[in-house]
Structure 1
């Protein structure tokens, strides 16, 4: 469902007035619950958490260069959020279609882009049925902002990755990021808050962690608090899943760096190719700066 150019979104379903996690929030482990989490009040504060200027400075042109390296022209941003990466890529000269499962996020993204002189091509879409809701083939798909961790069931993760794969051209690439959940699960939570959540006086930290749930709490200066329930994906599991779906030559970066120690990054970024390349009958899978 696209947002009209006049910004009229009356036909889009509204989010509930409050987040819904049930009587026992740590038992809420369903993929579909993301629709109950990104309510208008939370979305309106999301840019305080990100801080567009600080985030642009921290990540530099990492994604722009990665896309240009693969001669990408047309990009599908499947986790647009409030539009940060869609707008940056538009300004860098890419053709961008912006998708998200949250209508509230799409409204905010459309407004943010318009204030910066752009009109986003927006589509409300669930990744599990992406080919149903979004048309065309793309040189690249990006899934950023730790968004893939909203998928709680492995069948949903595989279905989403297969949908990405099908929408890419034969030589297309997927760029997907995630928190360093390995460190959180094994050593406890710590964060430099340097690269992703750069807002001042905003706190993002886990309230509960186990092998099947990372429940994060977000506290804002006006004393409001919101939560997200996410699945703590381990790095090697995520890479294996991408490989099994069909992606090749997977490179993994830590906080936009080619070299890193596993305990250091806050986030991992996976860059995977669709094109099939074999070496003596085996699949070439790389981890940038780290060994399997």
Structure 2
């Protein structure tokens, strides 16, 4: 067994609160099962064309997907005719994404890049940057979050847009966890739930049908805090959708989608 086969959270997993730890969490076995968790077909059906329409309404042609994962969003955008560059901090994820894109008939352009220093690896400007799949919550340090958002902002053209999503951590922190699994994690054979939550950590447990278990440690971003950071790094107008709807009760959505305009 190589070093990537098993996750390592040490003796006290709930004390693991570092931005750089995500690379050790996305081990090959977990990455191989990620698509079982998402269920591409079910997710595409539930999500509809909301993301695609948001981008098309703004005349977007060139997109940077900074949290490609196994490639779901990148492939959907390629299918819709967008020019896409796919980035991720995990080499394991990029390999899987490239293979998935190839299976759908596309040659994916991939870049392994850390959000905090993206301009070091990506020398271009984009009409849109997308950071989806609750990925932004891997950053535990506020300085890291500000640095990453500033990098996204810089990579956008002057009238560009950032799409960034997150779990509804307000509801989890204030009311406890419940999830309809209606939009993001649609796999019926996977159980997902937080085994520990406090203001500085949401530790999620992923149980798969073959008995395998994996964890992710994430920072529970509150919605208004994320919006505040977006404003403070320079985005002028921010609209927040709840499960892809403009109107919602605050504790109702599983996920929020922030649409941040640079103008």
Q: Same fold (TM over 0.5)?
A: yes
TM-score normalised to the size of structure 2?
Answer: 0.99
Aligned positions of 1:125-144 closer than 5 A: 125-144=113-132
Q: Deviations over 1:133-183 (max 9, x none)?
A: 112000000000000000000000000000000000000000000000000
CA distance in 2, matches of 1:18, 1:245: 37
Q: Deviations over 1:194-248 (max 9, x none)?
A: 0000001201100100000000000000000000000000000000000000011
User: Cα gap change, 1:15/1:256 in structure 2, threshold over 3 Å: closer, same or farther?
Assistant: farther
Which runs of 5 or more structure 1 residues have no equivalent in the other structure?
1-13, 276-292
**Cα displacement (A) at 1:21:** 1.1
Residue of structure 1 in register with 2:251 after alignment:
263
Q: Deviations over 1:60-116 (max 9, x none)?
A: 000000001111000000000000000000010000000000000000000000011
CA distance in 1, matches of 2:177, 2:251: 11
Could you tell me whether the CA contact under 8 Å between 1:15 and 1:36 is conserved in 2?
A: no
Task: Give the aligned length.
Answer: 262
Could you tell me whether the CA contact under 8 Å between 1:106 and 1:124 is conserved in 2?
A: yes
Find the partner of 1:185 among 173, 179, 193: 173
Residue of structure 1 in register with 2:135 after alignment:
147
**Cα displacement (A) at 1:17:** 2.3
TM-score normalised to the size of structure 1?
Answer: 0.89
Q: Would you say 1:59 and 2:50 are equivalent positions?
A: no
Residue of structure 1 in register with 2:214 after alignment:
226
Residue of structure 2 in register with 1:208 after alignment:
196
Q: Would you say 1:196 and 2:184 are equivalent positions?
A: yes
Find the partner of 2:81 among 83, 90, 93: 93
The alignment's C-alpha RMSD in Å is 0.8
CA distance in 2, matches of 1:222, 1:66: 38
**Cα displacement (A) at 1:44:** 0.1
Find the partner of 2:223 among 229, 235, 238: 235
SS at 1:18 equivalent: coil
